[in-house]
Each structure stands twice: as structure tokens, then as C-alpha cells.
Structure 1
Amino acid sequence: MEHLFETFIPILIHIFEFMGIIILCIGGFRAFFVYLKELRSNEPYNIKYQFAASLATALEFKLAAEILKTVLIKSFDELLILASIFILRVLMTFVLEWEIKQEQKHEANHNL
């Protein structure tokens, strides 16, 4: 069973990390192109919300990879490093979610 974990878990970790990277890249390029379109057309469009949502989704995939990494931990030092990374990513996710909610409230108040 341990051999199975050591063989397939790293593959799953890389897949989840790759999916997070893909989501982040697509969100970044999309935000950039919408920004360029906004500059050309002078139509107000809030890219910040969409880009923050992409960042939060990408972080969720990265967190899934970190959770899978806990299965492969062999030393206490590895656990400390992984816990630090996990905590930082969770904090970043919470900050992004908070920022998205604040932006939605601001838009709702602005539209009244």
C-alpha cells in the first residue's frame, strides 16, 4: 500500500498543481485582455472581481495538492514547511474571498 501511495500520490499532486497553474494563467490572460478591451472602448468593466475569483480558484487546487502532500511526509521538518505553506495559502484564500465580497458590496452600493 505504501508503494502505491509513493507512486500515485506525487502524480496526483502534480496534476492538481498544474490545474491551479492553468486556472491562474487563464484568469491572468483573460483579465489582461479584458483590461485592454476596456481601455479601447471606455466601457467600465470590473476585472478585479473576475481575476480575484480566478486566483481563489487556483489557490484551492494548490491547497488540494498540499493536502495530498501530507500523506508523503517523512520528517517533522517537512511537516513544519508544509504546514507553513498551507497556512499561507489558506490566509491568501481568505483574503481574496474577503476582497471579492467587499467588491460585490461596493458594486451593490454603487448601483443603488
Structure 2
Amino acid sequence: MTHLITDMHEILEIIANISVFMLELFGTCVLVYTAVKGFYYWIRKNESVRLYLAQGIALSLTFKMGGEVLRTIIARTWSELGVLGAIIVLRGLLTFLINWEIKEEKKALREN
């Protein structure tokens, strides 16, 4: 029975590691795509470039925060959990600030 539990734990750890990698990859891809398209918008002098960039960064942070939450499954020590918790809090604050910026930018675009 203990071998079954050990094997299931190892499978869960593998699935969690793959999922964390995929979420981090998705977040990175969204960020790079947003940056390239944002640069294109900036060259074309599109007024909504700041809004587009902020929305892309917020989406990217959401993917990356999902990866950090999943990483808590495989954390083995309290210090690892503390670091992960701090990262989640910082990314959460960044997401909050970026969403506030999105709201302000939408308001500014409506006024123009």
C-alpha cells in the first residue's frame, strides 16, 4: 500500500511540474506576443497601446500566478512555502495595480 501511495505522489509531482512549466510558458508567450504587438501599435501611434500592454501584462501575470499556486503542491519546506507565498502576494499586488491602470486608461481613452 505504501508503494502505491509513493507512486501516486510521484505521479502527482510530475503532473504538477509539467503544469507549472506549461503555465509559465503560456505566461511568457502572452508577454512576448503583447510586447511585440504593443511595439507595433506604438510605431503606428495607436492611442490604445498602453491599454493593450497593460491587459497583456495582467493576463501574463495571471498565468504565472497560477503556476506559483500549483508550485505550492510540491513545496517540501516551510521556507519554500514562504517564498512562494511572497511571490504570489507580489504578483497579486502587481495584477491589482495593473488592473487599476487599465481602468484609468480606459477612462482616459473615453474622455478623448
Q: Same fold (TM over 0.5)?
A: yes
Match of 2:35 in 1: 28
Residue 75 in structure 1 maps to residue 83 in structure 2 = no
Per the TM alignment, residue 4 of structure 1 is displaced from its structure 2 partner at its CA by 1.1
Q: Determine the C-alpha separation between the residues in 2 that align with 1:89 and 1:100.
A: 16
What's the counterpart of residue 41 of structure 1? none
- 1:49 CA drift (Å): 0.1
Match of 2:18 in 1: 11
Structure-to-structure mapping, 1:23-102, within 5 angstroms: 23-38=30-45, 44-102=46-104
Instruction: Please list every run of 5 or more consecutive structure 1 residues that lacks an aligned counterpart in the other structure.
Output: 39-43
How far 1:70 sits from its partner (Å)? 0.7
Name the % identity: 30
Superposition CA RMSD, Å: 1.0
SS of the equivalent of 2:72 reads: helix
Matched residue count? 105
Q: Which runs of 5+ in 2 are unaligned?
A: 1-7
Alignment partner of 1:74: what SS? coil
TM-score, normalising length: structure 1? 0.89
Query: Residues of 2 paired with 1:23 and 1:106: CA distance?
Result: 25
Shift of 1:46: 2.0
- Hey, which bits of structure 1, 4+ residues long, moved more than 6 A? none
Code of the residue aligned with 1:28 in structure 2: it is A
- In 1, Cα distance between equivalents of 2:55 and 2:90: 18
